[in-house]
Amino acid sequence: AMVVLGIVALLLATVLGHILSGRAMVPLREAYEKQRQFAADASHELRTPLAVVMASADLLENDPSITSPFLKQVIADVRDEVKKMTRLVSDLLLVARSDNKALKLKLQKFDAAELLSQTARLMQPLADKKHIALDIRNCDAHVIQADEQKIKQLMLILVDNAVKYTPDGGEVHVGFEKAPQGRVRFFVQDTGIGIAKEDQRRIFDRFYRVDKARSREMGGNGLGLSIAQEIVNLHQGSIEVTSTLGKGTRFTVELRTKAKAKTA
Ligand code: ADP
């Protein structure tokens, strides 16, 4: 019996040692890496055929020989769906690549306050359509060193969501506020539908949408906030949400004045 016990103990020790040394994790990591690479390759390969379908739909849309209202509607529908899919594919590609950390920051100096008011103004036509008052406040110069293109994408995601999830006649406020030393902080606040407490943590997950039908109707795919989170992480900043259901939502982003180039 002692011999059997000894063998069992030895086996246990070996298995434990294996797990503790991290070697058991290798197949899991490899599988994850394969899956990520597959997502990146698939979305990349989908871009070309989608562009071809889009160009064909454009051709049909402008063809004067097509006069049937029914056909015109079908073509418009195809175009709309292809447009959505193109966005989804490019978002997917970004997400899959960022996992790979192949996503590198192009650091440069720019005025983040100016960028925020520019980006918010891009959404003005959409806000006007819904009679939403878009208010840009406290945008004195805040020069930071970061990836301007990505920070713009981050701002766009937040302002776009604020307008999307605010009913007609509401308000969207964007602006800067005081942040502790060496950091800048901006916010995007709306008087929209709000997000329930239990959903607030999950909205940053990929493909998570509180109301799938509503989000889809608005052209959403549930990737926006996960991309926003990724951009913030790459800059070693933070993003927070506070929200009251039926009252409105506020997203606050804090960034370093000088982002460090991430190597890993
Ligand atoms: P989507 O493409 O669906 O907008 P996001 O990742 O940008 O995807 O957001 C995830 C979900 O979080 C949305 O589907 C929506 O339910 C919720 N959400 C995001 N921003 C807001 C907001 N400003 N007000 C209310 N709900 C929001």
Q: What is the ipTM of this complex?
A: 0.98
* Winning range, highest mean pLDDT, from 89-98, 138-147, 238-247: 238-247
Among protein residues, the one whose CA lies closest to atom 20 of ligand 1: 161
Average pLDDT, integer, range 217-245: 90
For the entire predicted model, the pTM comes to 0.77
* E strand intervals along 85-182: 108-111, 133-137, 143-146, 171-177
How far does residue 222's CA lie from ligand 1's centre (Å)?
A: 7
- Per-residue confidence at 15, pLDDT binned at 50, 70, 90? confident
Locate all alpha helices (DSSP H) within the chain, ordered by sequence: 2-20, 26-61, 69-99, 112-122, 124-129, 148-164, 197-200, 212-217, 224-234
What percentage of residues in the chain have a pLDDT greater than 90? Answer: 55
> Mean pLDDT across the stretch 41-56?
88
Is the CB of residue 228 below 6 angstroms from any atom belonging to ligand 1?
Answer: no
Which residue's CA is the nearest one to ligand 1's atom 12? 203
Question: Bigger pLDDT: 204 or 11?
Answer: 204
